[in-house]
Structure 1
Amino acid sequence: MASPRKSILITGCSAGGIGAALAEVFHEKGYHVFATVRNPSKISESLSGAANITVLTLDVLSLESIEAAVETVKRETGGKLDVLVNNSGGGSFVPALDASIEEGKKLFDLNFWAPLAMLQAFAPLLIRAKGCIVNNSSANAYVPMAFMSIYNGSKAALAMASETWRRELQPLGVRTITLITCAVKTNFWSNYHGAELPETSNYFEIRDFIHGFTDGHLQANAITSRQYAIIVVREVERGTVGTVWAGKDAFVARLAWWLSPKSVFDMILESILPVSSEMAKAVQRRKV
């Protein structure tokens, strides 16, 4: 029997992440939440034991797994889905010259192709509900942070595709929100294991500097995942369509990207991740 509650499916709901926070806040708003994870052991106790939360094992890189999730949602909601949140994703922090093309393609599979596969699979349910799809991209889609070109590229692809899907889905009665996520406190970096740079790397001498940026300190003053989730839920509830910037200093970041001349924008990025100055120091050390 279909539930009278609004329904939402969120990918990537592992404990300590954005997906879990979204699941909790949408649940508080009265939604029937389908909280999905690839590894069930990573779901939080608060989600696994709550009424009106259905925990699903879902590998967004598996079409069979996606189809199984579709069938479960159909059965429990009567064939409708009010909101789909494409939140699952991965990261990469490595110089482009040292990046593995094979691993890069896997990241694009996760950050770009998987959201499209989810949209295609759940489209009939969203259309029937006149629902909403939310795609979690990143400020890195617009901000060219050094050593993150593969991640940046995958999120830029998702951001552009999401806004294109918005125009395609609007005539079908489905809203699209593209989240441009700035810094949020999660356990992302604690679970990240970067590749070691080979001695032949042009950046080998600053490898400690590079590895230092994967310790999570850039999230130190970020908003919490719950604060972020409250913002997102508010935008979904008010009927927002299009791009939404959310996270630490989201408004400032958006203005800086829009209004700053390229030279000024590059200075801002260098102040955050001073690649040029570190490389210059490495050159000086070799001369000593």
Structure 2
Amino acid sequence: MALRKTCLVTGCSAGGVGAAFAEAFKNKGYHVFATARSPSKIPQTLHEASNVTVLALDVTSTESIASALEEVKKKTNKLDVLVNNAGLGLNMPGLDTSLEEAKKLFDLNFFGALAMMQAFGPMLVAAKGCVVNNSSVGGVFNFPFSSIYNASKAALIHGGETWRLEMAPLGVRVMTLVTGGIATNFFVNMQTLIFPENSYYKPIKDIIEDNPEENPYGMKPEVFAQDVLSRVEKGANGKQWVGGGASIGRFGLWLMPQGAIVSLTSSQS
């Protein structure tokens, strides 16, 4: 069994936050289980590292989670850190979003994190470990045309804060990242569904679909990951406002009246 600290990260495709998390924990000396639905998308540097195990993992599949759990158990009997990073965005008016697609997004962004925590719970308890849920400022601010994504991230924030209370007696910390801007391909890769012919929003379809190629508040993924790693190592717990513009958003939420916040978020759409 491994003696060094262990960390499992979901959603480790190249160029994303998950790969940056895996690199940061690897460089800190953890044995990292870097996972993705398609392992071929995980950076070659992680495939080649001696303290990294690359695994296929789809967090929306109970069979896939069970298979990954068995592979992790072959190398360790405890898990010090679980980073629930896998997720997806969606730009679409609530009136035009199919319930099927909405439920799929919740399965990935919310229920996937819960399923991972349940499956790896005993290993986290054995390590007196830490769960890191990567949520978003979208779970706090009401950005138009992202209602399903915002709701899934709000659920993760509130779920995470409750899990924090539930797991504290077991010696497990639960950190929930209220993540701001990160310089990844998140907006470029964001799915946009096909508008119904009778959509009220057809005249502004191009505006809704115009995802920026570069986030003006984008923090480099490696800087973001190092910040999160530092917080994990220092014993942080609960909500953590991290990433580009997050601290400004937190301050604004505390300082500004609700009407001003609504006006600001509406102007960002």
Aligned match of 2:221: 225
Distance 2:157 2:42 in 1: 27
Q: Which residue of the other structure, out of 206, 209, 214, is the alignment partner of 2:207? A: 209
2:243 equivalent to 1:244 = no
Cα distance per residue 1:194-215 (max 9 Å; x no partner): 1232331111111111111x24
Give 1:272 shift. 1.7
Kindly tell me the number of residue pairs found equivalent between the two proteins. Answer: 269
Counterpart of 1:157 in 2: which secondary structure? Answer: helix
Q: Is the CA contact (8 Å cut-off) linking 2:164 and 2:174 kept in structure 1?
A: yes
Match of 2:164 in 1: 166
2:257 pairs with 1:261: yes
Q: What letter corresponds to residue 216 of structure 1 in structure 2?
A: E
Q: Helix, strand or coil: the match of 2:74?
A: helix
CA RMSD of aligned residues (A): 1.1
Question: What is the one-letter code of the residue matched to 1:264?
Answer: A
Matches within 5 A, 1:1-288: 2-77=1-76, 79-212=77-210, 214-217=211-214, 219-273=215-269
Which deviates more from structure 2 when the two are superposed, residues 65-74 or residues 240-249?
65-74
Deviation digits for residues 25-57 of structure 1 (CA, Å, limit 9, x no counterpart): 111111000000101121111111111000000
- Residue by residue over 1:94-129, the C-alpha shift from the partner in whole angstroms, topping out at 9 and shown as x without a partner, is 011111111000100111111111011000000011
- Matched with 1:278 is none
State the alpha-carbon separation in 2 of the partners of residues 149 and 215 from structure 1.
18
Aligned AA (1:171): P
SS in 1 for 2:83: strand
Structure 2 CA distance for partners of 1:249 and 1:215, relative to 1, 3 Å: closer
Is 2:144–2:266's contact at 8 Å kept on the other side of the alignment? no
Letter in 1 for 2:227: I
**Shift, 1:221, TM fit:** 4.0
Question: What is the alpha-carbon distance in structure 2 between the residues aligned to residue 199 and residue 205 of structure 1?
Answer: 11
Output the CA distance in 1 between the equivalents of 2:146 and 2:54. 32
Distance 2:121 2:28 in 1: 23
Cα deviation, residue 262, structure 1: 1.1
Structure 1 unaligned runs (5+)? 274-288
The separation in 1 between residues aligned to 2:58 and 2:197, in whole angstroms, is 36
**What amino acid maps onto 1:229 in structure 2?**
A
SS of the residue aligned with 1:184? Answer: coil
- Taking the aligned partners of 2:143 and 2:191, their CA distance within structure 1 comes to 18
TM-score by length of 2: 0.97
Percent identity of the aligned residues? Answer: 51
Shift of the alpha carbon at 1:14?
0.4
Question: Aligned partners of 2:264, 2:257: CA distance in 1, in Å?
Answer: 11
Give how far 1:246 is off. 0.7
Unmatched 5+ stretches in structure 2: none
